[in-house]
């Protein structure tokens, strides 16, 4: 089984991606490598941030790896918060304060269309590849559900009555933006064998 480093410290992301890759790739994250530093994310695009993180890990460990960057793109906010999704409420913020700010700035706004977009950057044998996953939906007017993380309590995917936080991990992992991008990555890795 191919061994890949996932360039993240985020345990929620690691669990999500592991569930999609189970049995196909042996996933190792940065913590299991004993690496606990923050990796810079200074690009103004998701693609740029994902590549920056993957290159950082590849140059440091010389191991095949991948990194992702995810953005919540809200139509009423001109595609924002986008690359600032994780720090929407400011430096040192947490998931709860990001969600609170989003609900506050969208108060009274009728167009609540949004999408989650994930870009995965893979470095395999020194070559770089990009995979994208997108899911459309809308931002609810209040939090619903207590599963998941991040904006899950306020994001309702198109065609569903539940938010990601009401669905639970298994259901979310079948349809999410990250799952779509990781499936593309998995399909690519399977063909590469």
**Residues carrying an active site annotation:** 69
Q: Kindly state the helix (H) or strand (E) to which residue 13 belongs, with its residue range.
A: helix 11-21
Cα separation, 183 vs 132, whole angstroms: 10
Sequence-distant (6+) residues with CB within 8 A of 39 are 7, 52, 53, 56, 57, 67
Q: Are 150 and 96 in contact (CB under 8 A)?
A: no
Say if residue 32 is exposed, middle or buried (CB neighbours under 10 Å; 0-12, 13-18, 19+): exposed
């Amino acid at each position: 089984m191919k061994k890949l480093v996932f360039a993240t410290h985020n345990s929620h992301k690691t669990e999500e991606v592991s569930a999609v890759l189970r049995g196909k790739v042996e996933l190792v994250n940065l913590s299991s490598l004993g690496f606990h530093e923050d990796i810079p994310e200074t690009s103004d695009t998701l693609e740029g941030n994902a590549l920056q993180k993957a290159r950082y890990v590849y140059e440091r460990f010389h191991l095949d790896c991948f990194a992702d960057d995810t953005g919540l793109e809200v139509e009423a906010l001109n595609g924002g918060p986008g690359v600032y999704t994780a720090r929407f409420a400011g430096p040192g913020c947490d998931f709860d304060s990001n969600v609170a700010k989003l609900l506050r700035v969208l108060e009274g706004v009728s167009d609540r269309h949004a999408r989650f977009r994930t870009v995965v950057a893979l470095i395999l044998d020194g070559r770089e590849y990009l995979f994208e996953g997108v899911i459309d939906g809308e931002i609810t007017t209040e939090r619903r559900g207590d599963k998941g993380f991040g904006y899950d309590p306020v994001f309702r995917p198109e065609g569903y009555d539940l938010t990601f936080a009401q669905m639970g991990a298994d259901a979310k992992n079948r349809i999410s933006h990250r799952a779509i991008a990781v499936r593309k990555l998995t399909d690519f890795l399977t063909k590469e064998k």
